[in-house]
Amino acid sequence: MTAMILVDAQQNIAFNAQQFSREYQSWAWRQRRASAADAPPATTSLRDTLLARIAIVISSITVLPEASPPPMGERLHRYRNDEEARQLAHWQLDYYRRLADEAEQIQLITSRDALDAVLKSWAGEQPLDKRRQGIVMQLKGAAPISSPQQFEEWHGWGLRAVAPGWGQSRYVSSADGGLTRLGFALLEALGSQKALLDIAGMSARAAAAALDRYEGPIFASHGSPRAISGGERCLADAALSRLAERGGVLGIMLYNRFLKKSWHPSDRKDSVTLAHWVDAVDHVCQVTGSAEFVGLGSDIDGGYAYSALPSAVDTSSDLWLLRRALLARGFSLEQAAAILGGNMLRVLRESLADG
């Protein structure tokens, strides 16, 4: 039997390699020592996540338009046109392939068989160096997909999840607008491959349309209830209920801005604790009436300082502490296992074919 494992529905592994020359196989503290002085401090690595029993990471392929405001310390690699967007995205896709080729403990998840092979490595009491981590590649922002029909190629390259939001594109009219005609066609193309649709980053209007029209598996990789954060990017209670009706899952971020309405970057690190993360989890459970529709989407190493993470969290190795925080609130061991891994595994498995 597989012991409790974590599934993190949002990290930016390839993006960080491209923008900050991060080495995922190196401890986070070593990455920090090698970083430029103005870069955000590294907070994740293969070793740190394995220590936290993170068996599966849904990790992004993220490209940024030239006009977007840069995260702290970022200076390079933005796109000015569709071709540059595709080039940047392919670099990140190739990075994941190289990572899986070079690191024996990393497996790209493109099928149920690959998923089961990773989960099998977590059964029993094997030593850490015998365990494997699965990476699911997700495109965060659909600009690199030249047309809805071209998604079949991306699927063939191993992409298994897409978040069409994240700014204006041929598929979304604006950051706060709805899906375009091509956007609805993209939903059909994703559905034909049973791809995992991510509504994180979508406006309320676009997310509502996707929840009504998309017939395949659906989730929100990382965010928070709007009642907790107040942010426009977060899900209102009506959207949470609709997501649950569709069997979807919301991954709760570890970013303080999404866990406490009054938080400010100048606040002390201990102004937000893991109890605030559990508050967001509990709100989803109260709205949906179940612990089946909420999970972890840490976005750790998302381009902000580790001072913007809850007080107990310095690197991704500390994500295992979420288990203790859930149990302290009164969640059962079974519920904690579902929230930290099982719920995301359910929607992920729906998107994968056998073989």
| 46 CA to centre of own chain | 16
For residue 173, pLDDT beyond 70? yes
Q: pLDDT-based confidence at 71, cuts 50/70/90?
A: low
140-168 average pLDDT score: 92
Where is 138: in which H helix or E strand?
A: strand 133-140
| pLDDT computed for residue 126 by the predictor | 81
Tens digits of residue pLDDT in 125-141: 788 888 999 999 999 98
Q: pLDDT-based confidence at 40, cuts 50/70/90?
A: confident
* Fold classified for 6-350: TIM Barrel (3.20.20)
Q: What is the pTM of this model?
A: 0.95
Tens digits of residue pLDDT in 224-248: 999 998 777 799 999 999 999 999 9
- What share of the chain in percent tops pLDDT 70? 97
> 232-265 as b/e, with b when 16 or more CB fall inside 10 Å?
ebbbbeebbbbbbebebbbbbbbbbbbbbeebee
96-122 average pLDDT score: 96
Average pLDDT of the chain is 92
For residue 195, pLDDT beyond 50? yes
Q: pLDDT-based confidence at 1, cuts 50/70/90?
A: very low
Place of tokens 């937000």: 272
The residue among 130 and 306 whose pLDDT is bigger is: 130
| pLDDT computed for residue 72 by the predictor | 59
Angle at 329 between CA 327 and CA 334, to 5 degrees: 40
